[in-house]
Amino acid sequence: MISVFALIGCIASTIATFNLWGYRTIQHKGFFAVFANVSEIFKWCFSLIKYFLICAVASIAIGIAVTLIVRYLVQPICNVVINFLNEHQKPSKADRMKIEQHETELKDWQEWYDKTYEVEYRRYQTYKSKKEAAEKAWKQKDNEVRSSRLSWIASQEAAERRQRQKNAAIKRVWEQEQEDLLKEWRKDASHQR
């Protein structure tokens, strides 16, 4: 990431320095040059390369200098400050006693919570098993009621079917008797003539 920033800085400084002090033609200077012939183009390119190399060397030198300053001057100072703060921020004896007391209270509370949770969890499991047993018994009873109702409906339908068959048989017998009587009556009527 640092090399990317160094490259971007090098390119930006090349553009700036080349526009300020780079190759000049009669009309324009830097990147906005207007060339009269091919030799001016080569001079312009060589000038651009020269300024790029100068900026690259300057960027590397500045990067090395900043790295050395940070590593050998700023970092030891920061380490000394951090060590000083760490040594002088140790808690006092009263603070350590308070911390130990809070830790003991927290430990006691955690034990109480664990015991309470265990008891409540057992209660919940008991309630859950009772509820499941009650639901199972209710479903079984409901299934029994449904099956008895369905069997009653089936028996009623069977009784109605038997009654219809019986009524149909009685009707057929009655119709047959009526037909027989009608035949007899016609026979008697034809004999009397």
Range of the domain at 68: 2-92
Indicate yes or no: pTM above 0.75: no
Residue 100 placed within a domain: no
Residue 119 placed within a domain: no
Q: What is the pLDDT of residue 161?
A: 93
Residue 122 placed within a domain: no
Are 87 and 166 found together in one domain?
A: no
Tell me what percent of the residues of the chain surpass a pLDDT of 90.
33
Are 159 and 87 found together in one domain?
A: no
Query: Could you say which of 67, 92, 117 is where a domain stops?
Result: 92
Query: Could you say which of 72, 92, 112 is where a domain stops?
Result: 92
Residue 58 placed within a domain: yes
Q: What is the pLDDT of residue 186?
A: 83
Distance (Å, whole) CA 132 – CA 141: 14
Beta bridge partners of 24: 29
Q: What is the pLDDT of residue 61?
A: 82
Residue 16 placed within a domain: yes
Residues contacting residue 18 through CB under 8 Å, at least 6 positions apart: 30, 31, 47, 48, 51, 52
Q: What residues of the chain score a pLDDT lower than 50?
A: 1
